[in-house]
A = this chain, B = another copy of it.
Amino acid sequence: MKTTIEEGAPVVTLINVFTVDPSKQDALVHLLDDATEQVMRHLPGFVSANIHRGLDGRHVANYAQWASREAMEAMLTNPDAQHHMRIAESMAQAAPILYHVASVHRRDGN
């Protein structure tokens, strides 16, 4: 299973960086996995979620792609999604920001 990052792809990207106590990092990763599989993945416009574990133990990042800003904002009003987000926010401080891909650079130029 893989996600692609590409200039001009028809997605918006939500990068959510969570700051978490190291004792709760594992639990937060599992919560985000479960929320994605049980709820987010089935919502209109969901494209991908990519959960990252900080090497410092104190952060978790979700790099998520949605088909449009409207689809992402509709997710925020979904009761099941809100339920999971409330649990995440009780465990960690979230910093979600919405982006467009500006440029992609690779070593090999491909």
| Interface residue A47 (Cβ < 8 Å from any Cβ of B) | yes
Inter-subunit contact B1/A106 (CB<8 Å): yes
B-contacting residues, A45-74, CB 8 Å: 46-56, 59-61, 63, 69
The interface residues of chain A, by DSSP majority, are classed as strand
B13 x A52 contact (CB < 8 A) = yes
CB atoms of A53 and B107 under 8 A apart: no
> How far is it, in angstroms, between the C-alpha of A97 and the C-alpha of B17 when the chains are bound?
9
Contact assessment for B105 and A41 in the assembled complex, using a CB-CB cutoff below 8 Å: yes
**A–B pairs, 19, beta carbons within 8 Å:** A1-B7, A1-B104, A2-B4, A2-B104, A3-B4, A3-B5, A5-B5, A15-B15, A15-B61, A17-B95, A29-B102, A41-B105, A50-B103, A52-B99, A53-B101, A53-B102, A54-B99, A56-B97, A59-B97
